[in-house]
Amino acid sequence: MRMRRSSSGQPYAATRYSRIWASVMPCSSRIRCPDSSRASSDECDSVGISRRKYSCKSAKKAGASSGNLPPFRAVGAPEKRLVTLPLATTALRMPASARTRRSAAAPRPYWRRMLPLALLLLLMAGLVWYGRHQRQVNRYARRVYATLISRYLTGHEKTPLLEGYSVHGIDVSAYQGRIDWPLVANHRVRFAFIKATEGVTLRDNRFQRNWRGARAAGIYRGAYHYFQPNYDATKQANLFTRTVPLAPGDLPPVLDVEHAEFHDVAQMRRGVATWLRLVERHYGVRPILYSNYSFYKRHLAGHFDNYPLWLAHYEVSQPSLPREKWIIWQHSDEAYVPGIRGTVDFNVFQGNFQRLLAMRIPARGRGAVPN
């Protein structure tokens, strides 16, 4: 295929681009002219122009008067022969100031405009949710913290005693692991309830050791059974009485009722009543009923008022029930007591030490004081 050429003998495309370049480029961009009206061939070579001399003075005058620079010819060259020059793309760019104004005027995307509002709404919703669940969130955060530092505990950490009460106690199970009972007694712990059984078959594997250790340390001891409402109450009572050798001087037995998974609330109440009646008949002393505040209010309130109540109620300065309704208050389940490596339940007795002693199982032939 033959290439199309212009009348001057140069390729047609090159001649065409030369005219375009000459029409849009000012003289100062095409060639640097010194103070003289002609530029040397070396200066022309520096911008890619063939070794000819060009006249810039006329081009400058024409540009000053009209604002446009006309095409120019090489001096000494044939009139129809044009210089072949590459297209200068840099001259066609938009000025920096115009680009800045254009980008500033361009609208932001919709999602970027709505992002600050969405973040504000999310923050407000989080604050409202935290205000409604502040106690649960703080409690969960403390539990996570206690789990993270549990491996670094030494067993000598200490939670301050609750002010306003003179008799303090704990309740423990196999979860607390090995307990240094003499060290616990030095922390003004006067009583301890120890888990003995659960359901119809489970015996706490540390009950006997804790039972003997508390007695040897001079701490008044008691035992409790964790009630499973979906199992036979008579079997649960028999398991407890066969496991716990309560003797005169010990605290009354305790039934822990807080398991929320049951089929029928009336059946659950009948099972609780059966356990309390059988255990009271066996030991000759009225048992203590343990439950947390929400479970008691929903399922037990008004049905077992004849039994002393041990109430668990956390994150409050005082239990919500009247003082005449309860005798022991479990105010924390994440306390630290020297002698126990990890958290433990902390309790206070409503009354003085003499009243606590009056609750103990009496010697044979003497009556017990349940309250």
Non-local CB neighbours of 47 within 8 Å, separated by 6+ positions: 30, 31, 32
Range of the domain at 124: 107-152
Boundary-marking domain end, from 94, 118, 134 = 94
Whole-number Å distance between alpha carbons of 208 and 211 = 5
Helices (H), 186-264: 207-216, 233-243
Check residue 7 and give its pLDDT. 55
pLDDT in tens, the chain (371 residues): 555 555 555 554 445 545 544 454 544 444 444 444 444 444 444 444 444 444 444 444 444 444 444 454 445 545 555 445 454 444 445 555 655 555 555 777 888 888 888 999 999 998 888 888 777 777 777 777 777 777 777 888 899 999 999 999 999 999 999 999 999 999 999 999 999 999 999 999 999 999 999 999 999 999 999 999 999 999 999 999 999 999 999 999 999 999 988 888 999 999 999 999 999 999 999 999 999 999 999 999 999 999 999 999 998 989 999 999 999 999 999 999 999 999 999 999 999 999 999 999 988 654 444 43
Q: Which of 43, 180, 258, 333 is catalytic?
A: 258
- Using alpha carbons, select from 350, 171, 360, 215 the residue that is nearest to residue 284: 360
Q: Is 332 helix (H, G, I), strand (E, B) or coil?
A: strand
On whether both 216 and 299 belong to a single domain, the answer is yes
Q: Is 62 helix (H, G, I), strand (E, B) or coil?
A: helix
Does the annotation count 43 as an active-site position?
Answer: no
Whole-number Å distance between alpha carbons of 315 and 326 = 17
Check residue 221 and give its pLDDT. 97
On whether both 259 and 332 belong to a single domain, the answer is yes
Boundary-marking domain end, from 49, 72, 94 = 94
| Paired tokens of 243 | 């496991």
Residue 364 lies in a domain: no
Q: Is 157 helix (H, G, I), strand (E, B) or coil?
A: coil
On whether both 69 and 84 belong to a single domain, the answer is yes
Q: Is 203 helix (H, G, I), strand (E, B) or coil?
A: strand
Which CATH number covers residue 244? 3.20.20.80
Q: What is the pTM of this model?
A: 0.65
On whether both 146 and 172 belong to a single domain, the answer is no
* Structural domain count of the chain: 3
On whether both 145 and 181 belong to a single domain, the answer is no
Task: List 225's β-bridge partners, or say none.
Answer: 197, 255
Does the annotation count 171 as an active-site position?
Answer: yes
